[in-house]
Amino acid sequence: MAAETTTTPSAGDHDANPAAEAAEAVHGHEVSAGTTEVAHHGGEGGGLPQFRFEYWGGQIVWLLLIFLLLYILLGRVFVPRLRKVLDTRAETIAQAVAEAKQVQAEAEGLAQAAKAEVEQARAEARRVAAEAKAKAQAEIAQRQAELERELDAKLAEAEGRIRGMRDQAMSNVSTIAAETAQAMIQKLTGQAAAPAEVEAALAARTPAGAH
């Protein structure tokens, strides 16, 4: 090897400088020792240091440190943030549910109020219709009574005119009958009958209540 190759100083050099000879001897011994140690470690073979017992102590320490660091990060940073997010989400959901329930309650209240108003409007409409019907019936009854009174008055007036016309006709009939009777008596007997006698005879032959 290049590390094992050393130059041997000449005898003239050693004789000329004894201090240099001592330094070269020490240096040569160190180089030989380093070369021997390198050869020794190289002869032990390769492989991953994680599977060598002499490194397990440091690996365990680092593993504990990393675990502790992760535990601190999870306990102090990530878990609180995650918990805060979950709490905020739960609070938001609860608030939304509460608002939805409140809106539903308000909607039900408005529906009940609207239903009550509709029922009240229907009752008012029925009352107004009943009042209008009663008023119309009263007006109809009043108008009918007025018409009946007018009709009765007209009937009474007509009956009065009819009685007057009947009486007039009956009086004319009596006069005609008296004149006819006088003419017949004069024609049959040749003498004129007295009007009083003719009227008395006709009155006796006329039934009672004919006038």
Whether residue 153 lies inside any domain: the answer is no
Q: Tens digits of per-residue pLDDT, 22-76?
A: 445 544 444 444 444 433 444 444 567 667 777 788 888 999 999 999 999 998 8
Whether residue 167 lies inside any domain: the answer is no
Higher pLDDT, 39 or 77: 77
Whether residue 132 lies inside any domain: the answer is no
Whether residue 187 lies inside any domain: the answer is no
Query: Which uninterrupted H or E stretch holds 50?
Result: none
Q: Tens digits of per-residue pLDDT, 83-118?
A: 999 999 999 999 999 999 999 999 999 999 999 999
Whether residue 12 lies inside any domain: the answer is yes
Whether residue 83 lies inside any domain: the answer is no
Domains in the chain, number: 1
Whether residue 22 lies inside any domain: the answer is yes
pLDDT of 202 reads 65
How many angstroms separate the Cα of 43 from the Cα of each of 39, 54, 123, 139? 6, 17, 112, 135
Whether residue 183 lies inside any domain: the answer is no
Show the domain range for 40. 1-44
